Amino acid sequence: MSQASWETVDVTIIGGGPVGLFAAFYAGMRGMSARILDSLPELGGQLTALYPEKDVFDMPGFTRITAKQLAKEMAEQGTQFGADLVLGQTAQDLVEQEDGYVITTAEGARLPTRTLIIAAGAGAFTPTRLGVPREAEFEGRGLSYGVLDKAALAGKRVAIVGGGDSAFDWCLNLAPIASEITLIHRRDQFRAHEDSVRQVLASNVKKHLWSVVRELHGDSALEGITVENTQTKTCDRLEVDALVVNVGFKSSLGPIKAWGLTIEKNLIVVDPRFETNRPRVFAVGDVCTFPTKLKLIATGVGEAVTAICFAKTYLDPDAKLFPGHSSDMDLFQTGHS
């Protein structure tokens, strides 16, 4: 159950993608309490949702790193100061208060904050649904979009829908613990990394190719699915305990557009401090626009540093804008000088 009312924090960051994660890290560096809100259940934004297996070559310090490993490192760095995580919830409304704002989520949480950084990328990601009857009824009762709790699938019969990296990653990840895995994909070609495809095809994962899920069965929880082979038009009923759907994401800036911010071509206009037209509200990363904007992680994280430093001056007018060098700080009491 989601906690409905939360404490006030110095900064709330909408978006747990790479730029939002670095904003959370930098907030910690500046001694600010922080909260990250994301509509997805997992941190990483586009890195995790759209291209986990692709190599990224333009990150400082990494000659090459997969997007999912980069997301993992950035999540570790971004949360090490103890930022609150509000995941699986979408920012809906923004109401100004005397000393900041209250964000409410579509799921009913109330999140008071002194400053706000919007790092919402192309907007809130929501999973693409199968579009079959009773889908909403079984969501959270056996049907999920991605895996929230891997351990809960131990010993279970799991069907996985999709032909991309997420579907193949979950086949490989769950193989050691699930009692049976069935992969269902609408074609016989896959968009996943070729090594993952090779491993899954060589494994004992059952495959239903050229197949789609047509029906869901069960009373209070999912007990089975009907799968149709679109070439032969034959249907099979499979007894399963869990159905994991990985057929992509849709994104939408949605409610943020109604927050009174200046928007141009679906992007939030910012000044050189990365502040929007509303005081204490900043926007960074893919969601913001200014004349020299580049949509890259390397530039987005720099924007996040500047925005956090200006947000800090709202909280403490005597605070220096320039934070000093991290190498001169003993942030984690390592004892190094």
Ligand X SMILES: Cc1cc2nc3c(=O)[nH]c(=O)nc-3n(C[C@H](O)[C@H](O)[C@H](O)COP(=O)(O)OP(=O)(O)OC[C@H]3O[C@@H](n4cnc5c(N)ncnc54)[C@H](O)[C@@H]3O)c2cc1C
Residues forming contacts to ligand X in the complex (CB under 6 A) are: 14-20, 37-40, 45-47, 50-51, 54, 56, 58, 90-91, 119-125, 256, 285-286, 295-298, 300
CB of 103 to ligand X, least distance (A): 9
Cα torsion 199, 205, 208, 214 to 10°: value is -120
25 annotated as belonging to a binding site for a ligand: no
CB of 240 to ligand X, least distance (A): 28
User: Cβ closer to ligand X: 245 or 297?
Assistant: 297
316 annotated as belonging to a binding site for a ligand: no
User: Cβ closer to ligand X: 37 or 309?
Assistant: 37
328 annotated as belonging to a binding site for a ligand: no
Instruction: Tell the burial category of 48 from Cβ atoms under 10 Å away from its Cβ (0-12, 13-18, 19+).
Output: buried
CB of 95 to ligand X, least distance (A): 15
Q: Which helix (H) or strand (E) holds 112?
A: strand 110-118
**Alpha-carbon dihedral sign for residues 43, 45, 47, 53:** positive
User: Cβ closer to ligand X: 238 or 282?
Assistant: 282
51 annotated as belonging to a binding site for a ligand: yes
Classify 177 as helix, strand or coil.
Answer: coil
Closest by CA position to 255, among listed 16, 90, 17: 90
Q: What angle do CA 82, 53, 249 make, to 5 degrees?
A: 75
38 annotated as belonging to a binding site for a ligand: yes
CB of 74 to ligand X, least distance (A): 9
46 annotated as belonging to a binding site for a ligand: yes
CB of 257 to ligand X, least distance (A): 10
Q: How far apart are CA 188 and CA 211, in angstroms?
A: 9
CB of 144 to ligand X, least distance (A): 17
User: Cβ closer to ligand X: 264 or 318?
Assistant: 264
Classify 73 as helix, strand or coil.
Answer: helix
Q: How far apart are CA 278 and CA 86, in angstroms?
A: 23
81 annotated as belonging to a binding site for a ligand: no
Write out the two tokens for 174.
Answer: 């769950």
What is the number of residues in the chain? 337
Q: How far apart are CA 173 and CA 44, in angstroms?
A: 18
User: Cβ closer to ligand X: 298 or 329?
Assistant: 298
User: Cβ closer to ligand X: 110 or 295?
Assistant: 295
**Residues making up the binding site for FAD:** 38, 46, 51, 91, 125, 286, 327
**Residues making up the binding site:** 38, 46, 51, 91, 125, 286, 327
